[in-house]
Amino acid sequence: MKVGVFGGGQLGRMMALAGYPFNLRFSFYDAAVDCPSALLGQLFGDKHASPESLDAFIASADVFTYEFENIPVAWVERIAAQKPVYPSVKSLAISQNRLNEKKLFSQLCIPAAAYHEIHCADDLAQAASLLGLPLVIKTTMGGYDGKGQFVLRHINDVSQAWAELGKAAPLIAEAFVTFQRELSIIAVRSQTGETRCYPLAWNTHHEGILSHSIVPAPQISAETQAQAEQYITQILHELNHVGVLTLELFDTQNGLYANETAPRVHNSGHWSIEGAVSSQFENHMRAVAGLPLGSTEAIRPSAMINIIGQHPDTSAILAIPETHLHLYGKSERVGRKLGHITITAETYEALQMRIAEVAACLPNKMAL
């Protein structure tokens, strides 16, 4: 079976590395000839996204998936009319639009921040009156790693917020959520409707970019894990989602609040390559290929640390026990994810010691 992947970045690369042991083969749609997935399969696409390149991509594979959600729904609909696409068009359309996403949370009675739809600067002022300040202003489409957002702390900054984001209207204004920590849960659903959930991850961000994750998140009650699993399972079934889905959450004094979804494998799940019985990438490939799902059980406490902007010394990293290095074949650039490091240990105490050792070797230590 040949799998076509929209996007040739590191997520597509790790999908392919997980799928090759099942005798799966891959093609990728990406305009960058030097993208991280380029060496792992046929590459299609051009900078003009021509119909001809899309047609050639459709002809190249038996089943399709995607590594990011910011792709035209019309493209996926075009493929779905001819061949299987997982996750579904519905999953893509909901996850790539924050207003649709919030409406889904409301429909499923999943707690989330109060919000207001924004079409003009006057709507921003109205949202501030209704929801209070500070407000988090976001584009409804696009945006990642902190991009496409503005925190409105003073009513006098409405003009600045609109100047920065107004061209992308409609926007969404969300009430500020006071949280103790940021969490995420990753789950997978098969073509037959079977679901499995990974343990909650505790995520730390720096300037909008994920710095590191610790899994299973320490000091999480069984009730909190069960609540997160209930929320994400509701979403999986409602969307008839096949493959991996991620739900980002705020851990608050009033319980879990949903933040955003991602209809794909996720940065906070990279730990699972070494830290789980079956990684998120393996389980996504199992689901897309119609194979039985693997165990999502964590083998031991694990941490995932992103490598941002500059490469570390490979020998120094690999000299640290139970440390695994994944480089994506990217050139250095400020704020760019170049790779990640997974650390495992028998205890959380030992894990924290190894995190400190790794941090000492990183040129960019982020929030470590």
- The confidence score (pLDDT) of residue 103 equals 96
The answer to whether the 2-85 and 181-361 domains have the same CATH topology is no
User: Which two three-digit tokens encode residue 77?
Assistant: 């609909």
What integer best gives the mean pLDDT of the chain?
95
Angle between helices 51-59 and 73-80 (to 10 degrees): 40
Q: Report how far residue 88's alpha carbon sits from residue 208's, in angstroms, rounded to the nearest whole number.
A: 28
The residues, ordered by sequence, that sit 6+ positions from 226 with a Cβ below 8 Å of its Cβ are none
pLDDT at 21 over 90: yes
Is residue 284 pLDDT above 90, yes or no? yes
Q: What pLDDT band is residue 145 in, cutting at 50, 70 and 90?
A: low
Q: Look up residue 288 and give its two tokens.
A: 């897309």
Predicted pLDDT at 208 = 84
The token duo for 111 is: 């707690």
Instruction: Quote the pLDDT of residue 126.
Output: 94
What distance lies between CA 116 and its chain's CA centroid?
Answer: 24
- For the chain, give the percent of residues with pLDDT over 90: 93
Q: What is the mean predicted confidence (pLDDT) over 28-50?
A: 94
In the prediction, which pLDDT does 43 show? 97
What pLDDT, on a 0 to 100 scale, did the predictor assign at position 246?
98
Confidence of residue 365 (pLDDT cuts 50, 70, 90): confident
pLDDT at 177 over 90: yes
Mean pLDDT of 291-307: 98
Residue 316 has pLDDT above 70, yes or no: yes
Stated pTM of the model: 0.95
Architecture of domain 181-361: 2-Layer Sandwich (3.30)
Q: What is the pLDDT of residues 247-256, one digit of tens each?
A: 999 999 999 9
Q: What's the length of the chain?
A: 368
Q: Which fold has domain 2-85?
A: Rossmann fold (3.40.50)
The residue ranges of every structural domain in the chain are 2-85, 114-175, 181-361
CATH 3.30.1490.20 correct for 114-175: yes
